[in-house]
Amino acid sequence: MYLRVMQILDGVLVSAHIKEQIKHEVNEWQTNGGKKPHLAAILVGNNPASEAYVGSKVKHCEELGFDSTLLRFEKDITESFLISEVERLNNDDTIDGILVQLPLPGHISGDSVINAISPGKDVDGFHPISLGKMLLGQPTFLPATPYGIMLMLEYYKIDTAGMHCVIIGRSNIVGTPMTILMSRASNPGNATVTMCHSKTKNLKEITLTADIIIAAIGRPKYVTADMVKPGAIIIDVGINRIDDPTKKSGSRLVGDVDFDNVAPLCSYITPVPKGVGLMTICGLMKNTLLAAKQAKELIG
């Protein structure tokens, strides 16, 4: 019988710890003549969730002693205009990192815009060069959410070597890079990884064999208690808004995991909110600091 007490993987605690480290590093960097890291964020349109994410990233820049520039554009701008703005930021030596908040309006190709970002400023880690280097295990900007999850596992000293890690979701920004990081020869990592998606047959049979489940699906409370092996580690990436008449706003955020029923079963679990979302910001901020340091090396 499984007796270990369940532990919350606390995004507030871990992100506070990492942010202190970043602040310290920025101070040291500036004391030695480095300039403040500078993040430029591009927001197209006024999707409320995107507004909230970008707002939080800009706020974190202030908190950590970074400069930030927010460029807002109407949703009907053209793809070529947006790419010209990215190129302008690429050529601006005062900018270290560029992020384009996704999703973009349907008439703009996210791939084309991401491809236009200079790889040296790709702090979201979505550029093909960043992803290719990650695949090969070369130093690069890791995609912010998978990077944040690795930082979380590292903080709690969770030894994932030899574990069966089931990742649900195969997006380019979460699921797919997560499979690479969890399977590579590193700690955390060294896991045996299975990737699942909407065409996977017998998902429950697979998840029941998982020592770790990483859910990045975008479906509220999709992973239920009957899908989880007792003692499993649960990383919930999902951010879904559901109706809740008991809240003043009429809604609340939940993850892809049915937290209330799954939590008592497992060894570790991330909550939503206050879990992976905060770690994503840490990944982004660490990448931006790295970009500033690398730019100094390149530019002198």
Which residues bind to ligand NDP, rule: CB under 6 A? 145, 168-171, 173-175, 196-200, 203, 216-219, 237-240, 276-277, 280
Work out the angle at residue 29's Cα, subtended by the Cα atoms of residues 27 and 32, and round it to the nearest 5 degrees: 110
Taking every pair of C-alpha atoms in the chain, what is the biggest distance, in angstroms?
61
- Strand 240-243 and strand 251-254: the pairing is antiparallel
- The catalytic position among 10, 19, 57, 221 is 57
Closer residue to ligand NDP, CB minimum distance, 142 or 239:
239
For the bound state, the minimum distance from the C-beta of residue 60 to ligand NDP, rounded and expressed in Å, comes to 13
Nearer to ligand NDP, 97 or 169 (CB): 169
Catalytic residue among 10, 96, 122, 124: 124
Q: How far apart are CA 272 and CA 80, in angstroms?
A: 37
Could you tell me which of 32, 25, 22 has the C-alpha nearest to residue 296? 32
CB-wise, 130 or 280, nearer to ligand NDP?
280
Least gap, CB of 143 to ligand NDP (angstroms) = 9
Q: How far is the CB of 190 from ligand NDP (least distance, A)?
A: 23
List the end-to-end C-alpha distance of the chain, in Å, as a whole number: 60
Is the Cβ of residue 11 or residue 120 nearer to ligand NDP in the bound state? 11
Q: Which is nearer to ligand NDP, 64 or 195 (CB)?
A: 195
- Does an H or E element contain 41, and which? strand 38-44
Whether 229 is a known active-site residue: answer: no
Closest Cα to residue 101, out of 129, 68, 137, 132? Answer: 68
The least CB distance from residue 96 to ligand NDP, in Å, is: 21
Cβ contact 193:179 at 8 Å: yes
> Which residue has its beta carbon closest to ligand NDP?
171
Catalytic residue (one of 10, 19, 101, 256): 101
Rg (CA), the chain: 19
138 is catalytic: no
Q: What is d(CA 258, CA 223) in angstroms, rounded to the nearest whole number?
A: 6
For residue 69, how many other CB atoms are within 10 A of its CB?
Answer: 16
Where are the extended beta strands (E) located within 102-204?
164-168, 192-196
Shortest separation between residue 49's beta carbon and ligand NDP, angstroms: 8
For residue 124, indicate whether it is catalytic.
Answer: yes
DSSP annotation of 265 reads G
Which of 24, 11, 38 has its CA nearest to residue 289?
38
Q: Shortest distance, CB of residue 274 to ligand NDP, whole angstroms? A: 11
Helix, strand or coil, per DSSP, at residue 46: coil
* Helix (H/G/I), strand (E/B), else coil: 257: strand
Task: Give the residue with the Cβ less far from ligand NDP, 188 or 283.
Answer: 283
**Residues taking part in catalysis:** 57, 101, 124
